[in-house]
Structure formats: structure tokens, C-alpha cells
Amino acid sequence: MHNFTKRSVIKPLLFMGRLTFMALVITLSAVGLLPAKEGRSQDLAKIRVTLHYEHAFLEEILKGLEKQSGFTFTYPAKLGKLGPISIDVEDKSMLHALTQLSAEGRLRFSRTNRMLAVSEITPPVPVQQVKVTVRGRIVEFETSQPLPGATVMIVELNRGLAADEKGYYRFEGVPGGKYTIKVSFIGYETTTQQITAGEKDVVADIKLQGAKQLNTVVVKSGKRLSRAPVTYTTDKELLTEIKTSRAVVSGISNEQIVKSADRNAAEIVKRIPGVTVVDDKFIVVRGMNQRYNLTYLNDNLAPSTEVYNRAFAYDMLPSPIIDRILVYKSPAAELLGDYAGGAVKVFTKNAKPVRHLDVGVQLGYRDGTTFKDLNGYKAGNTDWLGFDDGSRKLPGIIPSYRESGGKNNLTQAQLLNAFSNNWEYGRLQALPDLQIFVNYFDNWRIGKWRLYDLTSVTYTKESRHIVQQRQTGNTYAYTLDKFGLNVGASNRTGKNDLSTQTAKISLLQNFTLKMNERNRLEFKNFLLNDGRSTTGVNIAQANVNENRNAGLFNYAEYKQNTLQFQQRFLYNGNLSGYHSLVAKRPQELHWNLGYSYSLQDMPDQRISRFRRSFSPGNLNGAEEKDLRWQVDYGTSENQMFYGMMNRFFVSNRENMYNGSADYAITVSPQLQFKAGTYQLYRIRSVDRRFLKVNRGGLINTEVASTDPGAWDNNGKIDPALLNFREQDLGKIWSPEFFHEDGTGLQLYDVSSPLDQYVASEQNNSGYIQGEWSSLNKKLILNAGLRFEHNVQQVSGAVEAFNTFLPTHVNLAKNSWLPSVNINYRPDSSLVLRASYGRTVNRPEFREIAPFKDFDFVNQEFISGNVLLKGTDIDNYDIRLELYPGRHQNETVSLGVFYKNLERPIERLRMANSTEGSIPQTVITYFNSDRAKVYGVELELRKSLGFMPGRVFRNMSAVLNGAWIKSEASRSKMPVSDNDQIVTIPGAAAGLFSGRPLQGQSPYVLNAGLYYENPAWGTKLGVMYNVNGPSIYALADANAEEILALRAKEGGYEIDELIKLGASPDLLELSRHLLDFSFTQRLYRSLQVRINVQNLLDEPVRIAEDQNYNHKYNKEVRTAAVPSYENSRGFYYYEGDNIFLQYRTGRYYNVTFTYAF
């Protein structure tokens, strides 16, 4: 280290040390705690005491101190009745306790040896003898309902009164000066607020929180519902939790959730520093891909909710059940080590010591959907509950592959009768969205124990209609650019019309059994069912100029209809125990048993395919354009593989069992130890059935054929049966079209061992952790070591030469994960954190399974990579946090972070899978060699009361953002260790360095401006969110080689033309979001909330990075290369074309809530 650096560090430290010493002397002098003379008494700073008193008299508190300290207190009898006083001190120095008690009661303590004399402090002389009025309103924290009868005191003047029947209070003739207003009310936490009386009247509206201690409210027996306050996590409590944390943590409280009026957890987490959301449901922390995050539900690991990736869908969690969300950005030994972006802990609301009922109704309107016509098909009787009624399930007569060996002996008549004949879609009108929620709190006495209960039910019904614009390749480039007919033949353009109806039910059932002050049990249950019915109409055509190519090609459009119902079911249950052990040293034991069940079921997904020519002169010509659609039948590989129509049945079931135990012991006030274990076992079973319609006379495995008689089975089939129209869909599922002798259509069950896999994961973890703090608690060192033994196994099959070969993937690894967190707290308002920790990122089952998925809604073909390996990550963080004392919900923090990733897992885009009709993007996964991610984070929460003007007194601002840089590289070519793998995914990309990490956003910005007037019960909020562009998927191509080939002047070889036809990177572009919310108390606890989301309505956009520079360069118009005589006068576009674009529409909702 340079001398300059040493001086720059040591000098501030010495200065801060001198300031600390002076502050300590001033504090001791202020409360009269400097000893009168030396004695044999112990030092007050070394004696540890614990005080928990609520609305107590001074005499009771001092007696408690005498028992714990050995000191004797003397005071006038009248002073002993001073109160009520509330104090909460846990294992703090006696000096700290007396300082807090002095502030609460305006007391002075004078010490002589082992005796402390107590006296009242004379009220300060006012700054000036100006008489002003201090007034305001006392309201409930959650509902802004007035609290008549609340006790209000000006502590320094010893003046008190009770709020009137509307919650107002008013003090006349208050001299100018600084005062403390103290407010108390039965069943609520006592609250204080500092005011300054100057020349103008003072208005101080104060919110009271419901009492949080489980023993502070007693509900008398009886059937009548007696309302009691319920308060969840506030901004103040959240900041206290973050401030006292040893790791780098960000979060959001229920107080801010209510202000923003978000509907689900996906909308809520966007307000957390460094966090954004993609696809309206997946969380991104510090711009890193969602795969690098870990989600906990009430301290229990949440399963992946997605079929195709390793992610948890936050849109499944409705906001009425959420208390707070914390994001741990630095490692800690007690957390599972499988994350790099953040470990996200979602805490649902818990049981409270009250009897209380909340009811809410929300209505929503979405631009482009509500009261508009959208596509739909005949639904089941229970779709409105999110369940299939059984009409879509796989018929019981269909044997499994294991039972039939791939040979189905059922007749066509049996098959037709077993399935639904519903293949048509129609038009229906979308009604307003609806959400209803009910929260009920209660408690009962069981002997000497007390049982607390929370039951929460939420029902949601939503509709959404979007139209996606899709395009592959530059606009009109095929035949008009320098490559002519050689490159771009598979480029397509078109639109995908998606109509989705969602029904969602969530149930939260939490119990807390309090046995005594040291022991309690919690049983938390969360159940969620989400059913989505989707009707997709995808129309595509060749990406060519229609006028230019009408005479050169049989110009046609292709149509794909998708009828889909998807059910996602999740149950998460936890049984936990919290025990304070009685011993010489404080000890804590926390244990947890958890079980999760996840179901992702897609029964009877129906796909039908058609084509039409622009000219009515084709075989099935018609004057009406919409009547020209005829079945897309042919003998190409794609046409034969998918068939004219097909039915898919997909089931994905996962069971997860886990248990944990954490034990902590305080060896001394400066030293604590913690140890624990975590055990997890989960098993997944995926099964798919694939049935398709083709012409008769084929065998199940038959695909492309060049036989001249293949089209109509050598003339045996009537051409009319092979060219049916879309309007015939209602009648083709009949013996008239399906024949047993190969002279008509035929339904084939082509399911095979390729359509299933089983997987399991076992994790055996343990950790030890120690924490040391200096005598003055200013320096805290927390260090731990975690060991994880993890085994992932997947069994499936691959096909080689028409033979199915079993494939087994076994990823077993022992990981030692150290972590160190250093906290330096020079005073109560400043925290400096530094941390290091090692974590891992393991592939998800789907990513390593030898399994290929068909996502017909999003037009993706997803394939696993059995060669995939896990990632090791080193994480470094430094953060400075400032907590101003005047406003306890304010904070400023600035941090930097650095991450080094070995073998990061990235999403890869292969060549397009189809050249015939509707293009699909082929997605798989691969490992780069290494990557580094580093950046800066800033968070600001600030009250605007310092600004002139009464309106700013009730305003606050939140601003947070992050700037991130990432670099991925490969220095050596990958080598396969599996003989069955011929082509290694990602190998075509060659060697590279310096490009951004896939999925990594370069910046994130969140901002919010809030207004709250407790007296009026009014809340306003404006929220803004944006994140930078990121790579959605990387091309399986060598960028440098392709750019060099493009610059070449003709003379291309066949292999060079193939490389030029590779699909480029996909870039997900930035999107600006602006939301507005308004909340108003109408009557008592009746509130209305009005929320407008996505005011800007910017489109979701993904672009093809044609120049491979990982930046979006908009397409520009270019004159056609006159390779053909009739090309002159035409044009095409060069640059980055928009691959996918759609708008979600502005969303308006109004919510009414009432608390009984």
C-alpha cells in the first residue's frame, strides 16, 4: 500500500476516534452519569441489562434495574409514579438503558459509589416567548382511521390531553422551542415525534402502530368480532432490520407496498434497490440473469415454478399476503450457497394477537383488452377456479409407452371417441379484471398457552390480449441484398395474437402457538393454484417484399392455432420452533421442517396448422381471404414430424423435503457462535404424450420422404381429405375423415422414451459461524464456513439411428463456501460494510436433461445440455450506509461490488428449427470459461420536509440505481466427455473475450415520489423503473468470422454460406415504466386505492444483433443490389431488426378495502 493511501485511511480513523471519545464524554455529562467519586462499584458501561416494559411506572422499571445491576436508586415517592413509560432494551449496557430512560422520562441520574439519585430535569427555557398552537390528528397506521381518546403529551412541558372524537388534538399557548410529542393508546405502540415551535403554528399528524408483542393484547371470549389494530412491517422497522444486519441487504416493507398499490410480488420487487423484473414475473438482481437468484418463502426454499427455466414466478404471489421482502446481496454462512445475484426472502403476513377481519375488492381495466373482443375456445366448467374439470385429461384407454412398447393397438374409432373434438376458437368479450381478498386474524387460549391464527384467501380473475410482431432476418433482405438467394430463405415475418384468461386462488394459513416467553411454534401453510387458458393465432410469411417476389415464388402465409390450458399448483408448508434456552449463557435454537409440492400440468394442448396463397387461383381458392386457409400438409421433415394437427399432454411434478436447525450461543457480550445444518431432497418427474394427425399408412417414426407416392399413399387417399380447410375443423374429428385402412387421415401416438425424464437433487449442508464485536460495539466481525454436498441426477433418453439409448447425468460436488462480513459503526447513524463470500450456481434439471420442449405460445424449442457444469462465484462487496437521526425512515447508501464467475451458464440460440411455416427459436445452454461482473449501487430515501412549503412536510422520495459492467470470455475450446454428444453446444462461437454476460443488464434505476397526509387519510405515489438492455440469448456462431465473411467480395463456399445463415444474438431492449397510485380513506377504515400502471406503455422489444456489437442499431433503408433485372427500384433494410415486439397496455385498477 502506498504511503499516501495509508495516510488517507489512518487520518480519518484517528479523527473519527477523537470524535467518538468527545461524543461519549458529552453524552455522559448530559445525563449526569459521570461518577461523583471513585468507589468499588462496577463501571456502568460494562453491566449488561435487559428491560421489556410497556406502559409501566418508573418505580417498576427502577426495581428491575436494581435486581440486575446491584445498584440502589433513590427518588421522591411522587417521581416513582411517573409514567406511563415504555422501554425495550435487550442485553445492553446499563449506561445505554439509563440514557434511554432519561430521554423517555426527562430524568437526571447522579451517581455516588453504588447509589444513583433520580430527579426530574427542569423544562428548558423556551428559545423565545412566542406562543403558538400545536395541533394534529392521531390515526391508525394501516387504515388512517382516527383514534379518539388517544393520550397526547408534550413531554418537556408535562402537558397532556386526549384526542377528541375525530382524533384531533390541540395545544394552545405553547412557547417557542424544541419539544417531544408522546402519543399512547391501548393496543398500540407508544410513539414519539420531535417538533420545533417557532413563529408559526405546528401541525403534527401522528400514526400509531398496533402492538406487536404477542402478550400485549387480550381478546375476551365471545362470538362478537371485536376490532383490533393489525400492523405489518413499516419502513422504520425495515431500515432497522437492514441496519442491524451483518450482510448487504435491501428490501421493501408493507408500508411501501401499500403506498405503491402493486397487485403481486413481481410488481412489488421492482421497488427494491438494484432489482428489476423480466417477462412481468422473473426477478433480476443487480442486472444478473434470473438464474442467479434464490427464492425463500418464509425461510423455506421455494421450488422453480417454470417448465423451461430455473426461476420462480413472482406474479403468482398476490400482494395482500406479503408482509415484507428482503434481498441478501452478499453471502452468509446460514444461507444456501446457490446464488450470486441475490437470495430473496419473501415473508408472508403472520398471525397477530388480535381478532380482526380485512376485506378487499379490486377491479381492473387494461387498454386493448377489457371490453374488447379476444379469442377463446370452449372452456371447462372449473376453468374459473384455475382447475381443469377433467375434460382435457389424457383418456385412460391410452397406454403408456412402457405398457405398449410404442405399438398402439387401439382403432381409430376408439381414439376419436376418447378425445374431445373441440379444435375451433371463437370471439368473446373480456370483462374487467377482478381480485377479492379476505384476511382474518383470531386467537384462543389453550390452557396456559395461546394459539394465534391468520387465514388469508385471495381470488384473482384476469384477461390479457397482446399481439406480438415477430420477424427473423433483416426486412426484405432475402433476394435483395448481396447474397441474393443464398442466405435468408428461412426468414419470416408475422404476428402472434395471444389471448389469455387467468384464474388464481391463493390460501395462506398460519398458526403461532406461544407456550411462554421463551418458546413458540409456528405452522405456516401457503397454497396457490394458477390456471391459464391461452388461445394463440400465429400468422407468418416469408420476409420478402410482396410486390417484388409475387412472380418468383409461390408466396404464401402460414397459420398456427394453439389452444392451451396450463395449471400451476404450489403448496409450501413449514413447521418451525423458536426456543430460548435457559442456561448461564444466552442460547437460541431454531428448527424448521418444510415440504413443497409443485405441479405444472398442460393437458391436451391442441395445435393445428394451415396455409393460404395470396392468389384465389389455388386448389382451394375462395374470394373471401379468411376462407382460403387449408391444412399445411406435405412431406417435408417438419411437416411430417409435427403433422397436420397434434395434441400434447405435459405433466411436471416435483416434491421437495427439507429440514434445518440453527443453534446460537452468546459466549460473552463480545463473542457469539452459531452453527446449523440444512438437508434437502427433491425429486421431479416429467412426462409428455405426443399425438399427431397425418395421412394414413405411415409408421410412427416415419418423417421426410422423397417417394413420389408419399403424399397420398400412392393414390389411396382422396385429395379432399388431405386439403381440408380451417372451417372444416368442427367436423373432421370423425370416421368420415379418419379411416382404418390407410385411405384417410390417421391419429398416431408417437410418444417415446424421449418424452420423459426423472430427476433428483440431494443437498447436505452444514455451517459454523462466529461473530466478534469490540467493547464499544463499533467494530463487528462475522465470519463463517459452509459446506455443501450436492448431488443432481437426471435420467432420460436420446435417439441414435432410430434406437433409444438411456442417458444418465450425475453432477456431484462438494463445495466449501467461506464468508466474511465486517461492519464498522462509528456512531448510530453510520455503517460501513465490507464482505467476501463464495457461492455457486447449479444448473436446473431442465437445463441438463436430455429432453426437448415445444413452447408453441412463445415459439421456442428448448433443449437441455447434458454437458453443462455448475458455476463457482467469488463475491466482494463494500457499502457505506447513512441513517440520519431526525427522520428514522431515511437512509443513504453507496456501495460497490465485484463478482468473479467460473464456468457461468448462459442461454444459447441455435439456428432456426423450421424453414417451412412458423419459425421457432431453438434454445439451449452452455458454459463460458469465466466472467466478471462489477458495479456501483446507490440508494436514497429522503423526507422532503426540509423544503419550504407545507405540502413538502408530507412528501418523501426514494431513488435507487445501479451501474454494472460485465465481461465474459473463453480461452480454450470445449471438449465433450460424453460419447453420445457429437455437437457441443456453443462450440461454434469459438474463442471470445470482453462481451457482456448473457442476461446481464448494464444499469438499473428505480425512483418514487410519495405524498402522505395522515389527517386526511390520503396517499399519493409516482413510481418510475427502467433497466438497461441485455442479451436474451447468444448466437451459436463466431462473430468475427461472420463479419469477415460479410465483408468478402463474392466467391462463397457452401460451408461459408451456411455460417452466414446463422441466427444472431438476441438483445432484450430497455423499457421505461411509470406508475401512479392514489389511496384515500373514505369512512372509518374504508379505503379506496386507484392505481395506474405502465402509463408510458412502451413496448417489450427483442432485437436481432445483426452486427454482433451487443448494441441496438436501428435498421436503415438500403437500395437493393441489382442482382436481378427486376430488383431495381426496390429496397431492403440493414441493421438490427426487431425480432419480437408487443405492448402490454396501460392498466387501471381500483381497490376498496375495509377492516372490521
Q: What confidence tens digit (pLDDT) does each residue in 838-872 have?
A: 999 999 898 999 988 888 888 888 888 999 999 99
Give the C-alpha separation, 371 to 367, whole Å. Answer: 9
- Mean per-residue pLDDT for 1013-1026? 86
Q: Percent helix, strand and coil across the chain, each rounded to 5? A: 15, 50, 35
Give the C-alpha separation, 1077 to 911, whole Å. Answer: 45
Give the C-alpha separation, 542 to 494, whole Å. Answer: 9
pLDDT at residue 126 is higher than 60: no
Give the C-alpha separation, 1001 to 1149, whole Å. Answer: 30
Query: In the block, which residue shows the cell 397406454?
Result: 399
- The pLDDT, as a whole number, for residue 226 is 43
pLDDT at residue 622 is higher than 60: no
Architecture of domain 128-208: Sandwich (2.60)
The residue that leads in pLDDT, 467 or 669, is: 467
DSSP bridge pairs for 922? 861
Q: What confidence tens digit (pLDDT) does each residue in 716-763 have?
A: 888 888 889 999 998 999 999 999 888 899 999 888 899 999 999 999
Cite the beta strand spans of 414-555 per DSSP E.
Answer: 426-429, 433-446, 449-471, 492-516, 519-542
pLDDT at residue 505 is higher than 80: yes
- The pLDDT, as a whole number, for residue 1106 is 94
- Mean per-residue pLDDT for 572-576? 90
* CA-to-CA separations, 164 to 138, 147, 170, 1015, in angstroms, rounded: 10, 8, 9, 13
Give the C-alpha separation, 545 to 1127, whole Å. Answer: 10
- The pLDDT, as a whole number, for residue 103 is 72
- The single-letter code of the amino acid at 827 is D
pLDDT at residue 9 is higher than 70: no
Q: Please tell me what DSSP assigns to residue 44.
A: T
- The pLDDT, as a whole number, for residue 1130 is 85
- The pLDDT, as a whole number, for residue 699 is 74
Among the listed residues 124, 154, 158, 156, the one whose alpha carbon sits nearest the alpha carbon of residue 136: 154
Among the listed residues 339, 311, 341, 340, the one whose alpha carbon sits nearest the alpha carbon of residue 847: 311
- The pLDDT, as a whole number, for residue 977 is 67
Give the C-alpha separation, 325 to 345, whole Å. Answer: 6
Give the other-Cβ count within 10 Å of 401's Cβ: 19
The residue that leads in pLDDT, 945 or 794, is: 794
Instruction: Compute the radius of gyration of the chain from its Cα atoms.
Output: 34
Answer for the pair 921, 911: CB distance below 8 angstroms, yes or no: no
Q: What confidence tens digit (pLDDT) does each residue in 874-900 have?
A: 999 999 988 876 666 788 899 999 999
Give the C-alpha separation, 207 to 142, whole Å. Answer: 9
- The pLDDT, as a whole number, for residue 651 is 93
Give the C-alpha separation, 726 to 868, whole Å. Answer: 43
Q: What confidence tens digit (pLDDT) does each residue in 980-997 have?
A: 555 788 888 889 999 999
- The pLDDT, as a whole number, for residue 623 is 61
Cell of 133: 398552537
The residue length of the chain stands at 1156
Torsion sign, CA atoms 279, 280, 283, 286: positive
Give the C-alpha separation, 906 to 929, whole Å. Answer: 11
Q: pLDDT tier at 713 (50, 70, 90 boundaries)?
A: confident
Answer for the pair 942, 956: CB distance below 8 angstroms, yes or no: yes
Q: What confidence tens digit (pLDDT) does each residue in 534-561 have?
A: 999 999 988 888 776 555 555 688 999 9
The residue that leads in pLDDT, 612 or 950, is: 612
Cell of 1064: 444472431
Q: Is the peptide bond before 84 cis (omega within 30 degrees of 0)?
A: yes
Question: Strand, helix or coil at 85?
Answer: strand
Give the C-alpha separation, 551 to 548, whole Å. Answer: 8
- pTM value is 0.80
Q: What confidence tens digit (pLDDT) does each residue in 666-712 have?
A: 888 889 999 999 999 999 999 999 999 998 888 765 655 556 567 78
Answer for the pair 910, 930: CB distance below 8 angstroms, yes or no: no
Torsion sign, CA atoms 442, 444, 449, 453: negative
**CATH class name, domain 412-466+476-603+615-1155:** mainly beta
* CA-to-CA separations, 988 to 924, 1034, 1063, in angstroms, rounded: 13, 11, 12
Give the C-alpha separation, 651 to 645, whole Å. Answer: 20
Among the listed residues 15, 20, 10, the one whose alpha carbon sits nearest the alpha carbon of residue 826: 20
Give the C-alpha separation, 86 to 679, whole Å. Answer: 42
Answer for the pair 1038, 990: CB distance below 8 angstroms, yes or no: yes
Give the C-alpha separation, 1154 to 1081, whole Å. Answer: 10
Give the C-alpha separation, 153 to 886, whole Å. Answer: 19
* CA-to-CA separations, 490 to 479, 686, 920, 1035, 1037, in angstroms, rounded: 12, 32, 11, 16, 17
By CB atoms closer than 10 A (0-12, 13-18, 19+), residue 447 is exposed
Mean of pLDDT over the chain:
83
What does the domain layout of the chain look like in residue ranges? 1-27, 31-120, 128-208, 235-354, 412-466+476-603+615-1155
Q: Please tell me what DSSP assigns to residue 45.
A: T
The residue that leads in pLDDT, 313 or 786, is: 786
Q: pLDDT tier at 21 (50, 70, 90 boundaries)?
A: very low
Give the C-alpha separation, 213 to 10, whole Å. Answer: 45
First-last CA distance in the chain: 65
Q: Please tell me what DSSP assigns to residue 385.
A: G
Among the listed residues 341, 343, 324, 325, the one whose alpha carbon sits nearest the alpha carbon of residue 333: 343
DSSP 249-282: EEEE-HHHHHHHT-SBHHHHGGGSTTEEEETTTE
Give the C-alpha separation, 123 to 106, whole Å. Answer: 8
- The single-letter code of the amino acid at 346 is V
Q: What is the CATH number of domain 235-354?
A: 2.170.130.10
Q: What is the CATH number of domain 31-120?
A: 3.55.50.30
Cell of 436: 377479492
Give the C-alpha separation, 272 to 960, whole Å. Answer: 8
Cell of 533: 387458458
The 3-state secondary structure of 614-662, one letter per residue: CCCCCCCCCCCHHHCCEECCCCCHHHHHHCCEEEEEEEEEEEEEEEEEE
Most confident option among 3-7, 550-554, 935-939, 951-955: 935-939
Q: Half-sphere exposure (CA, 13 Å, Cβ side) for 29?
A: 6
pLDDT at residue 921 is higher than 80: yes
- Mean per-residue pLDDT for 309-332? 78
Query: In the block, which residue shows the cell 409407452?
Result: 401
